[in-house]
Amino acid sequence: MLDVTLDMEQYDCPFIAASDAHDVSFSAAHWEFDPAGDRLDTRMVVEGSTPAALDAGLRVLRDHEGLRDYDLVSRKGPVAHVRTTIDETTAMATIREYDGYITGPFHIAGGRELWHVGFDRDADADTALSILDNDNEYEVLSRESVDLTELSGFVQNVGAAMTLIEGCRDLSTRERETLEAAVSGGYFDSPRGETLGSLADQFDVSKPAVSKTLRRGQAKTMARITEVLETLDEETE
């Protein structure tokens, strides 16, 4: 199996159009292709930078000629859950024609889409990518061969991966931003880069406040990591 990650801009995709026109992003919660109608059914989480941005992005989505059905399932502030049916895009048709298949969730923001696509044969991948280049702009971010052992391990550990993702979602915005700044700035390195003082200055808070935020964030992520390690130990046994 060949696993290819693409940074794609599709000219005929309603989600691309909406995210290009306004500050909204789409993350696939579920998708299912209808080969009889050449249409894609999706459930998407839509996030806007503001409630107004979300409204504007959803208007573009609803008005797009490629949209066939739309249902606002739920909404809270700048985040919505929508169910849609869209026409098959040119890129989708090309991938399917050469026996390609989606291997992971896709994310759309800033007029571009991150695709994870699988092919059983290198020749099919080469042909599909060559044809995609005629009608779309894309960049191959990675192209890796995955053997059966690696694939089996991935499938078996999907639950563990989701546990880690849920741990990240448990973080508040401030906890996530503080952890990211600490890691990227070398706070956990030896010798240390960022310090509590420099992090406090960066977020315009006191050193005790930034320390408390770091401890909360670490506690949440470590709890999830420990849970995953226990799961992996059970599978090994």
pLDDT digits (tens, 9 = 90+) for 119-128: 989 999 999 9
Say whether both 34 and 105 belong to one domain.
Answer: yes
Residue 85: pLDDT band with limits 50, 70, 90: very high
Between 132 and 231, name the one with better pLDDT: 132
Say whether both 172 and 91 belong to one domain.
Answer: no
CATH for 166: 1.10.10
Contact (CB, 8 A) for 124 and 100: yes
Tokens at residue 229, please? 């390690």
Last residue of a domain, one of 145, 173, 198: 145
Closest by CA position to 18, among listed 46, 38, 40? 46
Say whether both 110 and 208 belong to one domain.
Answer: no
Say whether both 121 and 57 belong to one domain.
Answer: yes
Query: Tens digit of pLDDT for each residue in 221-235?
Result: 887 778 777 766 665
Asked if the structure places residue 151 within a domain, the reply is no
Mean pLDDT over residues 90-104, rounded?
A: 88
Asked if the structure places residue 121 within a domain, the reply is yes
pLDDT attached to residue 34: 82
Residue 166: pLDDT band with limits 50, 70, 90: low
pLDDT attached to residue 155: 47
Asked if the structure places residue 150 within a domain, the reply is no
Asked if the structure places residue 206 within a domain, the reply is yes
Say whether both 183 and 137 belong to one domain.
Answer: no
Say whether both 139 and 162 belong to one domain.
Answer: no
Say whether both 81 and 138 belong to one domain.
Answer: yes
Say whether both 196 and 125 belong to one domain.
Answer: no
CA 97 vs CA 44, 102, 124, 129, 132: distances in Å: 25, 13, 9, 12, 11
Mean pLDDT over residues 68-83, rounded?
A: 93
Domain that holds residue 203: 157-236
Between 21 and 103, name the one with better pLDDT: 21
Cα–Cα distance measured from residue 134 to residue 121, given in angstroms and rounded to the nearest whole number: 21
Say whether both 225 and 128 belong to one domain.
Answer: no
Say whether both 31 and 140 belong to one domain.
Answer: yes
Mapped onto helix, strand or coil, the DSSP state of residue 188 is coil
Last residue of a domain, one of 145, 170, 196: 145
Closest by CA position to 179, among listed 228, 224, 233? 224
Tokens at residue 161, please? 């991966």
Between 158 and 93, name the one with better pLDDT: 93
Say whether both 23 and 81 belong to one domain.
Answer: yes
Asked if the structure places residue 152 within a domain, the reply is no
Say whether both 24 and 118 belong to one domain.
Answer: yes
Q: What is the total count of domains within the chain?
A: 2
pLDDT attached to residue 15: 95
Query: Tens digit of pLDDT for each residue in 9-62?
Result: 888 999 999 999 999 999 887 888 888 788 889 899 999 999 999 999 999 999
Cα–Cα distance measured from residue 137 to residue 9, given in angstroms and rounded to the nearest whole number: 5
Residue 68: pLDDT band with limits 50, 70, 90: very high
Last residue of a domain, one of 118, 145, 172: 145
Between 235 and 86, name the one with better pLDDT: 86
